[in-house]
Amino acid sequence: MNFFINATMPKQKSGIEHAELKRLDLFNKNEEPVMVVLRDWDPNAHINANNAGIADDQLINMFDYFQEATQIAAKKVQVQDIEFGVLNIKMTDDAEKSRYLVQSNEQLVARVNYNVDADRQVKSVEWFDGFNNLYRVDHYDSRGFISLQQWYTPDNKIGTETWQTPSGRTVIEAFHKKTMRGETIKTGWRLIDRNDQVYQFDTLAELTKYFFDCLNDDYWSLDQPNVFIADRAHLGDWGLLHLKKPAYTVFHLHNAHTADAQNPAAPLLNNNYEFSLHNIDGYDAVVSATYKQTADVRARFQPKTKLFTIPVGIVPERLLDAPRVPIAERQFGKMVVFARIAWEKHLDDLVRAIGIVHQEFPQVTLDLYGYPDPSDNYKARREVEQVIEEYHLSDVVSLKGYTTDIDEVQNNAMMYGLTSRMEGFNLAIMEAISHGLIAFSYDVNYGPNEIVEDGVNGSVVPYGDYQALAQAILKVLRDPKLADKYMTSAYDSAERYSEASVWAAWQSLLADAKESWPVKLAAMPGYQGGQQ
């Protein structure tokens, strides 16, 4: 079995989730068995995963796994389905806060929080004692059962958390204590399995390792190894490197491996990858999305483990075979961007470049599609809005929010811009060239400076130089023949990311996993020629 390991599958996805979904589709099309493995508890995991095209039989959440809830029939729980255990119940609908206030003889009994978009299905119930103290919160899984109960201490802090099966049997407990600084932290985990065997774990990392061992056992085969692909290495890096039985483990780099993405030899590593990089030879393979990063990892760490370069983006056949939209049918001067409005995307620089271009071409426009990062009180969005005001671009630059209507938007546009501080590949700019958009990018590691070929399908300008970016855009807008040449080459260059090309790269890794298996089996303690 092939396992893709992530935290969860949020409604608003990052590039890692989009990359996983594309890979899942590729593996399914080629009939290669695969499971998406989610480590974090998430009451909406199944709704979001199903909406993203992941069926329940290809989804394993760690908490669901131990809660015996990987595949269950969903039911709707509403406030009238809850037993409050007292007489003279009076319910008041606090619609503004999407909750019911439940009282008995003027005494607050509970607050029932509901989902407005799901016919007021219960999300959680907050329970109060006779002194109006919150003592427990029941969190409901979207499929209609109490999944997590949080028990509160007299000082209104979480003391214990318990996870239940759909039938109500407690299977996981997490305990909290105060540190000397007064901070409340988790201090231990207890697991009661379906055979009533009790296991103690000091950390979530230890519980995660046990979960990986269970998966490895469940899908164990003497013919070929299970393949664990860590898309978010920090979630389970220690566990994957300490499996009880052998497997084929893959460390997938989705971003720059150093804190300073422009300096692959910088002493400070990306903190999400630090442990895995220091233990790189513990893995069987490392995957980078670009040849440049593969070369930089080899030069920096000189690993003995095998390095593979596999694009995280895939251009589907339907796009490669779709009719090409000529430049005459597109809105002249329209640039679009699909990205979170976040610090690392540095979109205020792109707006500055458009401000310069607008002085010569008033018809130029920039549409930014993506949700704003809330960090530092939405600082990145505020910086974009500040530049819009500075350059008087309120009628030129639009913040469109998140959208999935990519084809329609990109087939109407002419250009795509990218001014990131760091990247791991950038699916959006790959999708842009597959729609024939002329791409403009900073020379940023990693991905854009390979996907965009300077002077072929767009322009790559020095990192951080928004004035050079503006001049590159102006050069294209002044020269219709050059614009047409870049657009044609954009369509052509998308062939590099066809399903066939990317699948061939994955086949090389899967073949290596199978070839290495006899050696791994022979080294396993207790293995005797075909028997465990």
Cα(446)–Cα(235) distance, integer angstroms: 23
Token pair of 443 as six digits: 């020379």
Last residue of a domain, one of 135, 170, 203: 203
Side by side, the strands of the sheet bearing 170-178 are 89-94, 99-104, 107-115, 121-128, 134-141, 145-152, 158-164, 170-178, 184-192, 198-201
pTM, rounded to two decimals: 0.89
- Asked if 24 and 154 sit in the same domain, the reply is no
Report strand pairing: 89-94 vs 99-104: antiparallel
- Asked if 384 and 430 sit in the same domain, the reply is yes
**Residue 341: closest CA among 399, 395, 396, 386:** 399
Residue 507 belongs to a domain: no
pLDDT digits (tens, 9 = 90+) for 13-22: 888 999 999 9
**Residue 348: closest CA among 426, 406, 427, 417:** 417
CATH number of the domain encompassing residue 125: 3.90.930
The SS3 assignment for 67 reads coil
pLDDT digits (tens, 9 = 90+) for 413-423: 999 999 999 88
Residue 517 belongs to a domain: no
Say if residues 313 and 431 touch (Cβ distance below 8 Å): yes
Amino acid occupying residue 454:
D
Cα(265)–Cα(158) distance, integer angstroms: 43
Residue 170 belongs to a domain: yes
Burial of 414 (0-12, 13-18, 19+ CB in 10 A): buried
- Asked if 229 and 112 sit in the same domain, the reply is no
| Residue 181: per-residue pLDDT | 83
Residue 184 belongs to a domain: yes
Instruction: Give the Cβ contact number of residue 480 at 10 Å.
Output: 12
Contacts (Cβ under 8 Å, ≥6 apart) of 98: 113, 114, 115, 116
- Asked if 296 and 357 sit in the same domain, the reply is no
How many domains in the chain? Answer: 3
Tell me how far the alpha carbon of residue 155 is from its chain's centroid: 35
- Asked if 254 and 386 sit in the same domain, the reply is no
Q: Where are the beta strands (DSSP E) in 71-213?
A: 89-94, 99-104, 107-115, 121-128, 134-141, 145-152, 158-164, 170-178, 184-192, 198-201
| Residue 532: per-residue pLDDT | 52
- Asked if 86 and 172 sit in the same domain, the reply is yes
- Asked if 36 and 138 sit in the same domain, the reply is no
Helices (H) and strands (E) in the chain, counts: 16, 23
Say if residues 429 and 19 touch (Cβ distance below 8 Å): no
pLDDT digits (tens, 9 = 90+) for 145-157: 999 999 999 888 8
Contacts (Cβ under 8 Å, ≥6 apart) of 376: none
| Residue 405: per-residue pLDDT | 82
Q: Where are the beta strands (DSSP E) in 421-469?
A: 438-442, 458-461
- Asked if 331 and 289 sit in the same domain, the reply is no
Strand partners, 461: 442
Q: Average pLDDT for consecutive 10-residue bins of the chain (532 residues)? A: 96 88 96 98 95 96 97 94 94 96 95 94 96 96 97 92 97 90 87 94 97 97 96 94 97 94 93 96 97 96 97 92 95 95 95 98 96 93 97 96 86 97 90 97 94 96 97 98 97 95 97 95 78 53
Token pair of 63 as six digits: 């908490």
- Asked if 345 and 439 sit in the same domain, the reply is yes
C-alpha count within 13 angstroms, C-beta hemisphere, residue 46? 19
Which own/partner contact pairs does 183-189 have at CB distance under 8 Å and 24+ positions apart?
184/157, 184/158
- Asked if 129 and 145 sit in the same domain, the reply is yes
CATH number of the domain encompassing residue 349: 3.40.50.2000
The SS3 assignment for 97 reads helix
Q: How many residues appear in the chain?
A: 532
Last residue of a domain, one of 203, 233, 260: 203
Burial of 310 (0-12, 13-18, 19+ CB in 10 A): buried
Residue 502 belongs to a domain: no
Residue 439 belongs to a domain: yes
| Residue 15: per-residue pLDDT | 83
Give the helix/strand (H/E) hosting 194.
none
**Residue 37: closest CA among 11, 76, 18, 63:** 63
Q: What are phi and psi of 160, to 5 degrees?
A: -140, 145
Residue 512 belongs to a domain: no
Token pair of 298 as six digits: 């080899």
Last residue of a domain, one of 309, 337, 365: 309
- Asked if 234 and 375 sit in the same domain, the reply is no
**Residue 163: closest CA among 180, 185, 141, 184:** 141
Residue 525 belongs to a domain: no
- Asked if 412 and 287 sit in the same domain, the reply is no
Look up the domain containing 451 and give its range: 317-495
| Residue 186: per-residue pLDDT | 86
Token pair of 476 as six digits: 């294209």
How many angstroms separate the most distant Cα atoms in the chain? 80
Contacts (Cβ under 8 Å, ≥6 apart) of 239: 205, 206, 208, 209, 211, 212
